[in-house]
A and B are shown apart, each in its own frame.
Chain A
Amino acid sequence: AQTVTQSQPEMSVQEAETVTLSCTYDTSESDYYLFWYKQPPSRQMILVIRQEAYKQQNATENRFSVNFQKAAKSFSLKISDSQLGDAAMYFCAYRTHNNNDMRFGAGTRLTVKP
C-alpha cells in the first residue's frame, strides 16, 4: 500500500522567515511523482511544486523548494521569505506512473504571523 504521512498538523512561521513542511511516503515503486498542493481558505487546490522520482535534482519554484530524499522516502517543502498569502493547508501527494489516483497526506495547516 502506498501511504503519505504529514506529521505536522499545524505549523507557524513569522513573515519573511523560512519554514519547512515534512512529508514521508511509503512505496515499493521506483517510478513515481510527488507533489505539494496548497489549499487556501477558498479551498481551491493549487499545485505548488512537483518532483519526478528519477530526477536527483530538487525541484524549485521561486520561493518554494523541496528536499527530496529518495532513500529515506522523504519529500519536504521549504518556503522561503514567507508571505501572508502563503497561509493555507498544504498537502503532500504521491502518484506512481502506472496508478490513476493520487494519494494525499492529511495536510499541514500553515499560519503566517505578521
Chain B
Amino acid sequence: NAGVMQNPRHLVRRRGQEARLRCSPMKGHSHVYWYRQLPEEGLKFMVYLQKENIIDESGMPKERFSAEFPKEGPSILRIQQVVRGDSAAYFCASSGPARGTQETQYFGPGTRLLVL
C-alpha cells in the first residue's frame, strides 16, 4: 500500500532554470495539495487540485508558479525561472474524495529544492 510519492527528493537548479516537482497521491485518493516549507517554519498552503482541475490556488505566487493534475499521471508543480528565494521543501499531500476521508491529508516525503 504505497503512500504519497514525490520525486525527485532533492533538486538543484541554477537561477533562471525551471524546476518540475512530481507527486503521485495515495491509491484511491483524488485530491492533491501542495505546500511549501521554508527553513525553520511551518508548512504554507499553495494549491489544491483534483483530476484536471485546479480547485484553489490562493496560496500560489502569481508569477512563475503553476500546477496541474492531469487525468493520467502525477501532479506536477512547476516553477519557472527559479530564484534563490524559491529554495525550500515542497510537500505534496493527498486525501480521499468523500467526507470522512477528505479531512485528513497524508503527506509525501517532500522535495528539497536548492537554487544556486
Contact yes or no, B103 A104, CB < 8 A? no
Does B59 lie at the interface of the complex (its beta carbon under 8 Å from any beta carbon of A)?
yes
Mark B residues whose CB is within 8 Å of A: 33, 41-45, 48, 55-56, 58-59, 89, 91, 93, 103-107, 109-110, 112
Pick from A14-22, A60-68, A75-83, A94-102 the stretch touching chain B: A94-102
* Residues of A with C-beta under 8 A to B44: 104
Given contacts A37-B107, A47-B104, A91-B43, contact A100 B48 (CB under 8 A): yes
Are B103 and A45 in contact (CB-based, < 8 A)? no
Contact (Cβ within 8 A) B56 A101: yes
Contacts of A37 in B (CB 8 A): 107
In contact, A101 and B104 (Cβ under 8 angstroms):
no
* Chain B residues positioned under 8 Å from A50 (CB to CB): 103-104
Q: Which residues of B contact A101 (CB under 8 A)?
A: 33, 45, 48, 56, 58-59
| Chain A residues, Cβ within 8 Å of B112 | 43
Query: Which of B55, B58, B104, B110 is the one whose CB lies under 8 Å from A45?
Result: B110
Q: How large is the interface on A (under 10, 10 to 19, 20 to 34, 35 or more residues)?
A: 20 to 34
A-B contact pairs, 6 of them (CB 8 A): A45-B43, A45-B91, A45-B107, A47-B106, A101-B56, A101-B59
Q: Check A100 against B55 for contact (C-beta < 8 Å).
A: yes
A35 at interface, CB cutoff 8 A: yes
Tell whether A28 is near chain B: CB-to-CB under 8 Å.
no
In contact, A97 and B109 (Cβ under 8 angstroms):
no
The B-contacting residues of A in range 94-114, CB under 8 angstroms, are 95, 97, 100-107
Q: A47-B104, A97-B103 are in contact. Are A106 and B109 (CB under 8 A)?
A: no
